[in-house]
Structure 1
Amino acid sequence: MHPVNFDPTDTGHDPHDHDHDHQGGHRRRAVRIGIGGPVGSGKTALTAALCRALGDEIDLAVVTNDIYTTEDADFLRKAGVLAPERVEAVRTGCCPHTAIRDDITANLDAVELLEHRFPGLELVIVESGGDNLTAVFSRGLVDRQVFVVDVAGGDKVPRKGGPGVTTADLLVINKTDLAPLVGADLGVMAADAHRVRGGLPVVAQSLVATPDAPEVAAWVRAQLRTLATVR
């Protein structure tokens, strides 16, 4: 299985072509949910948790993004959360946000490859490489986006804002079990997050305490139901 390499010089690809079959007819595609956030925030662990929680009820696959390696994809395959052929790796060769926002060609190619491999595919999770608080997905790539921050980054992170925190469809405050160890105030983090997000949902979680990420999994199920009615 070969990772998809991102070519930043290739800008001639029309992303709209990915919503059509080879005969030019429109075809139903899988729902795409992006998971982004800073390095070490727990994106891959959350992706693995969602695969465990949803894999028996939803036909799903994953695209991972790393700059030079396929480490995140390799982790998911070794963890056995999905069949290995349901995980595709993109090596961006550049800042992660470039391949999820600026030129999404490589990620669209990886998603389309999975859709052709699994014709009944319902959901593709696209995991970004670790980036900063400004990293958001192109809406040409994903239908919904999750942004993950972690308690170890300090309770000031949500109030710093940035498009990832303020505009993602779901904000996850991860690793809440570490709060006492790093002196973070979860109440402050939650209050600041709700204040800067203008009513958009926030989930605080510890995958140590709830390894199947029940609140995020429930949110994903709700998005699939919602999108099924409008597609």
Structure 2
Amino acid sequence: MHLDHPGLFPPRHTHSAAPVRPDGTRRALRIGLGGPVGSGKTATVAALCRALREELSVAVVTNDIYTREDADFLLRHAVLPPERITAVETGACPHTAIRDDISANLEAVEDLEEAVGPLDLVLVESGGDNLTATFSRGLVDAQVFVIDVAGGDDIPRKGGPGVTTADLLVVNKTDLAPYVGSDLGRMARDAEAQRGELPVVFTSLTSEDGVRPVTDWVRRRLAGWAAAGER
């Protein structure tokens, strides 16, 4: 459940999938980040916050099964003011709260918008999950799926909804490829075969400006979101 409301089952918010709130104002763009444990989801969220916080109003919702470990990581590293980071404790498989019953995440997102809004961007990070993890489109407007080369260069070939349908696939930790025997060229070919024209970026978030390809993609999504609101 949403950690800010212990002991209560979060109410369903039926209007949240709509891009426009009941008062006529346009809500923030919501981007979900999923991927296996250790792939670099939280590092991606942290890097995006650092890169965008001076130009945009950003907030984050993290998901963990029984803890608030990822939210605590972001708070320790001061990527955003504390009031812009909140946690959802799913109590079950991570995909349950991002796809099957999104009530707790919707409540967390809407509470952030009410508390610190208006927001430009809300990042919703899933707990670590397998290649089947996808977000409900009632919760997020776009999904990023993060994998890493240390997990094996056969991951893109294995596919799964996370790899094949995410709006952006991020292949992280490319600097480790020589040490773990991963073939980046093979990964690129397999990813293209699985995803067609959907974008893929290869990066190492530990390198200087390693998040730039992801940041550029987010900025394009934001521009499209803003343009759609002006029509």
TM-score in terms of structure 1 length: 0.92
> 1:5, 1:130 → 2: CA distance?
23
Q: Which amino acid aligns with 2:154?
A: K
Between the aligned partners of 2:10 and 2:4, the Cα distance in structure 1 is 16
Tell me which of 200, 203, 221 is aligned to 1:202: 200
Determine the structure 1 residue equivalent to 2:110. 112
Q: After TM superposition, list the pairs within 5 Å mapping 1:98-137 onto structure 2.
A: 98-137=96-135
Q: % of aligned pairs identical?
A: 63
Point out where structure 2 has 5 or more consecutive residues left out of the alignment. none
Distance 1:197 1:52 in 2: 29
Aligned to 2:228: 230
- The match for 1:3 is 3
Aligned pair partner of 1:156 in 154, 157, 162:
154
Unpaired runs of at least 5, structure 1: none
Aligned to 2:222, the other structure's residue is in SS state: helix
| Aligned pair partner of 1:53 in 51, 54, 60 | 51
Q: For the structure 1 residues 194 and 169, does the alpha-carbon distance in structure 2 shift closer, same or farther, using more than 3 Å as the test? A: same
1:33 equivalent to 2:38? Answer no
* Map of 2:189 onto structure 1: 191
Query: Shift of the alpha carbon at 1:13?
Result: 2.1
- SS of the residue corresponding to residue 155 of structure 1 reads coil
AA at the equivalent of 1:227: W
CA distance in 2, matches of 1:88, 1:11: 15
1:168-183 matched pairs, under 5 angstroms: 168-183=166-181
CA 1:212 to 1:175, structure 2 compared with 1: closer, same or farther past 3 Å? closer
Q: Does the Cα contact within 8 Å between 2:95 and 2:134 map onto a contact in 1?
A: yes
Contact 2:102 2:136 in 1 (8 A): yes
Match of 1:65 among 63, 74, 99: 63
Residue 146, structure 1, aligned to residue 144, structure 2 = yes
Q: Does the 8 Å contact 1:15/1:108 carry over to 2?
A: no
Q: 136-145 or 26-35, which moves further after superposition?
A: 26-35
Superposed CA deviations along residues 108-161 of structure 1, whole A, max 9, x for unmatched, are 000001100122211000000000101000000000100000101100000100
Equivalent pair of 1:18/1:108 in contact (CA under 8 Å): no
